[in-house]
Amino acid sequence: MDLGDGIRLRPLLAGDGEELAAAYSRNRAHLEPWEPLRSEEFFTVARQRQLVAEALRAVEDGRSAAYVLEDGEHRIVGRVNLSDIVRGAFWSAHLGYWIDHGLAGRGLMRRAVDTVCAIARDDVGLHRVQAATLLRNEASQRVLRATGFTEIGPAPRYLRIAGEWQDHVLFQRILEDAAEGGS
């Protein structure tokens, strides 16, 4: 799916380990404040191949949906994931995403999140998607608000990010509402 600026969104593939290792290495400093502490092993091709295999098993089992953003040279420049898919009475998932430092601020992630939410509604059959951002991550909060997410409220010490339990703001998007609104 074309997002503009020569960037497209596509499903994660078995052969993406090498490109993911390069993307994470290239964006290490950019992502560090927003992610869990990463070992040196995380940035290796071998570990990324393992993580891709694990992610694809979760996709196959219906527990997640995994996508990458790719540029015209087939370099991975971001990710969008739906994880912890729950069925039953909930029909919900958690949304996570990041984009290459050189592409931030162009509206690409907004378009990617909107596209993945449409997939979550139309193809995966979900009712809602939830996302969490650090209190100070205003860029991510802008993406969520621009794509129809509403703020649920604060979540004290929600996730262990950059080595510390940190407060987050929770957001949700009720997917049927977006369908009624034409998104």
Query: CA 179, 117, 42: angle at the middle one, nearest 5?
Result: 175
Q: How far apart are CA 25 and CA 41, in angstroms?
A: 11
Residue 30 structure tokens? 């950019």
Look up the CATH superfamily of 2-180. Answer: Gcn5-related N-acetyltransferase (GNAT) (3.40.630.30)
Domain-by-domain residue ranges, the chain?
Answer: 2-180
Strands (E), 50-176: 65-70, 76-86, 92-99, 128-134, 150-161, 164-174
* Per-residue pLDDT tens over the stretch 67-115: 999 999 999 999 999 999 999 999 999 999 999 999 999 999 999 999 9
Q: What is the pLDDT of residue 177?
A: 73
Q: How far apart are CA 147 and CA 83, in angstroms?
A: 18
Q: What's this model's pTM, rounded to 2 decimal places?
A: 0.92
Strands (E), 31-87: 65-70, 76-86
Contact assessment for residue 40 and residue 100, using Cβ atoms and an 8 Å cutoff: no
Residue 114 structure tokens? 């909107």
When pLDDT is averaged across residues 153-174 and rounded to a whole number, the result is 96
